[in-house]
Structure 1
Amino acid sequence: MTGTARKALLTLGLLALTGTSALAQTQQQTPPVACGGDLATFLEGVKAEAVAKGIPADVADRALAGAAVDQKVLSRDRAQGVFKQTFTEFSKRTVSKARLDIGAQKIREYADVFARAESEFGVPAPVITAFWAMETDFGAVQGDFNTRNALVTLAHDCRRPEMFRPQLLAAIEMVQHGDLDPATTTGAWAGEIGQVQMLPEDIIAYGVDGDGDGHINLKKSSPDAILTAAKFIQSLGFKAGQPWIQEVSVPENLPWEKTGLQAGMTAGDWFALGVAPRDGNTASSGLEASLVLPQGRKGVAFLTYPNFNIYLEWNQSFIYTTSAAYFATRLAGASPYQGGNPEPGLGDVEMKALQTRLQALGHDVGKIDGILGSGTRTALQKEQLKLGLPADGWATPELLSAL
């Protein structure tokens, strides 16, 4: 496994979106990890590994005392939800006026902390605040699963132990630091903790004591959460002073096959083809940029810049990441997007039928899941080109009929 479990989970999602057997690849790259069997024996093995890493035995005992498998965690893991809403539906629900107002208020309230975040890590307040809102509604909804038990459950389960055993060990280290109470600390079902929902390994690697109390408490301390998020975002490759996403208008004729999350063109190249920033700002013309059309060429359009990659690292869902990036631009002063008049898309059954047809035509769209992910969009663009249609990767009833 490379990096943290968060990054491993994101790798699974990104590979799945591109039509690759992610689980098989991860298993091929990762040595076997002890899992399953008698829980007490499993926990003794975890304790031994923790002690070998330098954690005192009494700390490991305290961290694991009373640990139990949580069947609700397993149920969530087996039935993970996926984004089947359109960008318009999801963004209008998540980027609400109430959230924008609260976000602006939080930026004013913690102005000094945000100034430090940008000074030390190069990440501006709107980027952090949008994640803060999207993840937990500014700390209001952090999850009620016992974190220790969630990680014990997922590490003991043999589905993905290579991802979660290191997180369990990191949680034990947090107990040693006094930053996690094994009996009372709660969070998300997959072990994420706090106002910005981070996993134990990430908290240890990037945690910042923002309020100076000697501890990193992402659940209760907003300064800790803000600065830790900033340091983590910096680690994902965020470049200070550069944009992340920009709404644009598009002409009727473009090389639509070049749209999507692919490299090779600059913003200036797109501008020369008639793509126009709605805010009139062309200062980033020299940066690499992709033209993304969440709902096809007749819907909203964005140029995404290299900093957009940090959103894809944070969450693998294209709809979530685009919404979070758009949210950050609104907090930075951008106007609401103009949604255009996108053509009707496909429902779940029709999308699965489309994916099945694309697969029969020789395209690797990955799992037939009803999601218009990047693998399906790429396959669609190829078929649209063959049919002489604008290759914008948007799935419509007419296209399904044509195929």
Structure 2
Amino acid sequence: MKSWLISLGAFAAISLSGAGLSPARANPGDFDHWLKSFRAEAASAGISDSVLDEALTGLSINPRVYELNDNQPEFARGVWDYLDSAVSATRINNGKTKYLENQRLFSLIEDAYGVDAEIIAAIWGLESSYGAIMGDYDAIQALATLAFEGRRTGYGRSQLIGALKIIQHGYATRSELKGSWAGAMGHTQFIPTTYLSYAIDHDGDGRRDIWSNLGDVFASTANYLSVSGYRANEPWGVEVRLPSGFDYSLADSDVKKAVVEWAAGGVEAIRGPGLIERFDPNMRGRLIIPAGARGPAFIVFDNFGAILKYNRSTSYALAVSLLSEEIAGRSGAVTASWPRDDRPLTLEERKALQQALKDRGFDPGPVDGIIGAGTKRALRAWQQQAGLPADGYASAAVLEALR
């Protein structure tokens, strides 16, 4: 989650229309009315009047938040473009340097929480470029903007109340709550409720400081991953080669098979020893094809799922996994070619694809432009009926065929 802050003013009408909101609905009077209602909700959640006065007085919406919410790079860019940036030579080299500089601390955290140090370092690199870019948004304003209007009002309200609790408990001051456009904060970008539940005071100084104390940062990140099911010294996954005529409908989040079953079906590791030789034959994993049948394929295991709980984007989890390999001194390069001639769909095109599926009787769930599990299942069902590879990949060619 990355951020820039712009003021409400001359760009409001343009920004709000780009986010699917009418300027009339987002005028200051409407927001002030909403804020009074939210203040009552926050008070019922135990937030004191003094904190509410301090945090909410003079608050306004930030239209840039709506734009970024609709165009998150993990979802709006081709996975190859995202990985080019996320696992760039600069990020790899900086990661190796930061890893060595903090090796003793990383080792302590790894031993204490059972989370591989290179994974913590990779998340640090992805979330804030190793602390260089933590975001300068006012988290209270950003979260109030999301809570007021749009598709994430529930998220915005819960996280705004969480941020107010951080202030009320004295964990951070109002002015310290800076971060991304989505209210994520610190070196590894914790949202407020995650901070309240999982942040750790590693050095025992009485503060859970994810903004400037690397011990607290690494321990908090490891704690969250550990609770999410991550286990040290277990693989995140492996790039694989699929056999001719492979049934792409098996690339479903609900389909998990033992390594021995994948191998028996003709799935092979691209580099190094085979699947059976490399992994516990009974370990269960699922197949992902982030760019559809034309792109690379991976078998991923439970540790990949734990990373996904940090950020529900396959591109993000793959970037963390590949970057961690490089930081640890192993090759994280993807061998198979990405379909770089493909064009990622715009938000409106993603919505159009979902609506076209719904019109044909294949229910994708909400028509919200988010290509999640429901949309992929509906798309696979349509592809099977149309005699196409059922990879569930939303491309411009597929949209044209649906139309």
Q: TM-score range by the shorter chain?
A: 0.7 to 0.9
Judging changes above 3 Å, is the alpha-carbon distance between structure 1 residues 165 and 296 closer, same or farther for their aligned structure 2 residues?
A: closer
How much does 1:366 deviate? 3.5
Residues 221-277 of structure 1: CA distance to partner in whole angstroms, max 9, x if unpaired? 122111101001112122333222211122223222212323241222111222222
Judging changes above 3 Å, is the alpha-carbon distance between structure 1 residues 386 and 152 closer, same or farther for their aligned structure 2 residues?
A: closer
Alpha-carbon contact 1:36-1:42 (below 8 Å) kept: no
Q: 1:138 aligns with which of 130, 134, 137?
A: 130
Alpha-carbon contact 1:233-1:310 (below 8 Å) kept: yes
Q: 2:195 aligns with which of 185, 200, 203?
A: 203
Alpha-carbon contact 2:257-2:286 (below 8 Å) kept: yes
Partner SS, residue 289 of structure 1:
strand
Partner SS, residue 383 of structure 1:
helix
How much does 1:125 deviate? 1.1
How much does 1:63 deviate? 6.6
Provide the residue aligned with 1:381 in structure 2: 380
Q: Bigger relative contact order, structure 1 or 2, given CA contacts below 8 A and separation 6+?
A: 1
Alpha-carbon contact 1:36-1:158 (below 8 Å) kept: no
Q: 2:258 aligns with which of 266, 270, 273?
A: 266
1:279 aligns with 2:272: yes
**How far, CA to CA, are the matches of 1:168 and 1:368 in structure 2?**
26
1:323 aligns with 2:319: yes
Alpha-carbon contact 1:245-1:329 (below 8 Å) kept: no
Provide the residue aligned with 1:46 in structure 2: 42
Provide the residue aligned with 2:334 in structure 1: 337
Letter in 2 for 1:314: Y
Provide the residue aligned with 1:218 in structure 2: 210
Stretches of structure 2 that go unaligned for 5 or more consecutive residues are 1-30
Alpha-carbon contact 2:80-2:338 (below 8 Å) kept: no
Alpha-carbon contact 2:362-2:379 (below 8 Å) kept: no
How much does 1:401 deviate? 6.0
Provide the residue aligned with 1:290 in structure 2: 286
Provide the residue aligned with 2:15 in structure 1: none
Partner SS, residue 141 of structure 1:
coil
Alpha-carbon contact 1:259-1:292 (below 8 Å) kept: yes
Identify the range of structure 1 (93-102 vs 366-375) with the bigger mean alpha-carbon deviation: 366-375
Residues 199-222 of structure 1: CA distance to partner in whole angstroms, max 9, x if unpaired? 233223222223443312111112
Provide the residue aligned with 2:59 in structure 1: 69
Identical pairs, percent: 29
**How far, CA to CA, are the matches of 1:347 and 1:48 in structure 2?**
44
**How far, CA to CA, are the matches of 2:105 and 2:43 in structure 1?**
38
Letter in 1 for 2:382: E
**How far, CA to CA, are the matches of 2:247 and 2:219 in structure 1?**
42
**How far, CA to CA, are the matches of 1:208 and 1:351 in structure 2?**
39
Alpha-carbon contact 1:296-1:343 (below 8 Å) kept: no
Alpha-carbon contact 2:78-2:343 (below 8 Å) kept: no
Q: How many residues align?
A: 361
**How far, CA to CA, are the matches of 1:66 and 1:388 in structure 2?**
57
Identify the range of structure 1 (157-166 vs 297-306) with the bigger mean alpha-carbon deviation: 157-166
Judging changes above 3 Å, is the alpha-carbon distance between structure 1 residues 363 and 199 closer, same or farther for their aligned structure 2 residues?
A: same
Residues 61-99 of structure 1: CA distance to partner in whole angstroms, max 9, x if unpaired? 257426332321x54146512322221111112111111
Letter in 1 for 2:252: G
Residues 82-141 of structure 1: CA distance to partner in whole angstroms, max 9, x if unpaired? 322221111112111111111122222222222222222111112111211111111111
Partner SS, residue 71 of structure 1:
coil
Provide the residue aligned with 2:177 in structure 1: 185
Judging changes above 3 Å, is the alpha-carbon distance between structure 1 residues 370 and 208 closer, same or farther for their aligned structure 2 residues?
A: closer
Alpha-carbon contact 1:36-1:156 (below 8 Å) kept: no
**How far, CA to CA, are the matches of 1:220 and 1:196 in structure 2?**
11
**How far, CA to CA, are the matches of 2:338 and 2:35 in structure 1?**
56
Q: 1:111 aligns with which of 103, 117, 132?
A: 103
Deviation beyond 6 Å, 4+ runs, structure 1: 156-159
Stretches of structure 1 that go unaligned for 5 or more consecutive residues are 1-34, 52-56
Provide the residue aligned with 1:365 in structure 2: 364
How much does 1:40 deviate? 6.2
**How far, CA to CA, are the matches of 1:228 and 1:120 in structure 2?**
11
**How far, CA to CA, are the matches of 2:324 and 2:192 in structure 1?**
26
Alpha-carbon contact 1:42-1:156 (below 8 Å) kept: no
| TM-score normalised according to structure 2 size | 0.77
Provide the residue aligned with 1:256 in structure 2: 248
**How far, CA to CA, are the matches of 2:290 and 2:38 in structure 1?**
45
Letter in 2 for 1:71: I
Alpha-carbon contact 1:63-1:182 (below 8 Å) kept: no
Letter in 2 for 1:315: N
Identify the range of structure 1 (88-97 vs 256-265) with the bigger mean alpha-carbon deviation: 256-265
Identify the range of structure 1 (322-331 vs 246-255) with the bigger mean alpha-carbon deviation: 322-331
Partner SS, residue 291 of structure 1:
strand
| TM-score normalised according to structure 1 size | 0.77
**How far, CA to CA, are the matches of 1:344 and 1:109 in structure 2?**
40
Judging changes above 3 Å, is the alpha-carbon distance between structure 1 residues 65 and 304 closer, same or farther for their aligned structure 2 residues?
A: same
Partner SS, residue 292 of structure 2:
coil
